[in-house]
Amino acid sequence: MLRTGRRGFMIGSLCMLAACDRAPRTQMFANDTHPRDYPTVRAVEYFGDLIERRSNGRLSIKMFAGGQLGSERDTLEITAFGGLDINRVNIAPLNAIEPMTMILSLPFLFDSIEHSRRAFDGPPGQAILQSLTRHGLIGLCYYDSGARSFYNTYGPVRTPGDMRGRKYRVQNSDLYVGTVNALGADATPMALGEIYQGLVQGVIDGAENNWPTYQSERHFEVAPYYSETQHVMAPEVLLMSKIRWDKLSRADQEIIMESARESVPYMRRLWDARVVAARRAVLAAGAKVNEVDHKAFQDKTRPLWDRFVTTGRERDLVRQIQAMGGADA
């Protein structure tokens, strides 16, 4: 029976709403160690808005920022087991899971940020992302993490000799441990959230990171000497649990992949602005930046390439990445 008039229209609309409500909705939980205003968190939220819009509200993301769910290493395990749907981590904690990820964390692999972006976006980067599938993780995209440099509580570092015997915090990765030890310092793996107190109490003398994290974690307050080694330009990775992924329709998987890719240029815009702002803010707050003898750092860390790049396939990827360097297109 056709309903007519205002009341009939309202009943019809409510039925439609009820039917809509019955359409299965999937809210996915996402994790990030950084606070809400950090570029990675904002990019994941942007990605969430895109998938919500494109799926007419069926898919959405609830973000748990600020490391409230645990260290990156712990949350990675939870993600692989399906307890967490989306996770944004640095590539370093993936080094212990998939050796191919170490390639992008090799010291002095990239000539410039542009070179690193070409490698992430191109075939080598994409092959490394896909290698995660066999570990229960779908690599959706890379986000920028800029260049990491050493900073400390005691004074400017110009050559590796200035780090000798000092304790430097590293991420949980044998490659990072090897890098710092090769420079003559004492590598101390530690979670990000423990660094500030570690520096205050003298458990460590220094750490290494990009400008935005150095600022956002307030490490500049206690370790004001930032020496621009720029020894690593490894990316951040946006991951999804394969268990959740396999439950989605092909169409929804496409929405997710496409939205993740589209969030990359958005993230890069935020990132570039944040690097400049963070550098300016910490220098205004009293941090001291200095140049270093890059060659001395490269010479000491180069043997790590042979130690950590062990298969023919990995060596081939390194060669492909090197061929993408040089003059910026």
**At its nearest, how many Å lie between ligand GTR and the CB of residue 100?**
18
**At its nearest, how many Å lie between ligand GTR and the CB of residue 103?**
17
Q: Determine the length of the chain.
A: 329
**At its nearest, how many Å lie between ligand GTR and the CB of residue 75?**
11
| Sole binder of ligand GTR in the list 31, 55, 90, 301 (CB under 6 A) | 90
Look up residue 95 and give its DSSP letter.
Answer: T
**Total Cβ atoms within 10 A of residue 25:** 12
**At its nearest, how many Å lie between ligand GTR and the CB of residue 180?**
13
CA distances from 306 to 231, 312, 320 (A): 17, 12, 16
* Closest residue to ligand GTR in the complex (CB): 90
Contacts to ligand GTR from residues 8-27, by CB under 6 A: none
**Total Cβ atoms within 10 A of residue 204:** 25
Residues 306, 127, 105, 240: what is their CA dihedral angle, to the nearest 10 degrees?
A: -140
CB 325 within 8 A of CB 110: yes
User: Would you count residue 101 as binding ligand GTR (CB under 6 A)?
Assistant: no
Contacts to ligand GTR from residues 177-216, by CB under 6 A: 192, 209-210, 213
**At its nearest, how many Å lie between ligand GTR and the CB of residue 45?**
16
Name the segment binding ligand GTR (CB under 6 A); options: 14-22, 52-60, 85-93, 97-105.
85-93
Joined together, the tokens standing for residue 126 give 């994409």
User: Would you count residue 171 as binding ligand GTR (CB under 6 A)?
Assistant: yes
Contacts to ligand GTR from residues 111-170, by CB under 6 A: 145
CB 148 within 8 A of CB 179: no
- The end-to-end CA distance of the chain, in Å, is 66
- Maximal CA-CA distance, the chain: 87
Name the segment binding ligand GTR (CB under 6 A); options: 51-59, 60-68, 84-92, 251-259.
84-92
Vertex 166: Cα angle to 163 and 171 (nearest 5): 90
Annotate 71-118 with DSSP letters as a single string: -HHHHHHHHHTTS-SEEEEESGGGTTT-GGGGGGGSTT--SSHHHHHH
Query: Considering beta carbons, is residue 146 or 224 the nearer one to ligand GTR?
Result: 146
User: Would you count residue 79 as binding ligand GTR (CB under 6 A)?
Assistant: no
User: Would you count residue 236 as binding ligand GTR (CB under 6 A)?
Assistant: yes
Interface with ligand GTR (CB under 6 A): 33, 72, 89-90, 92, 145, 171, 192, 209-210, 213, 236
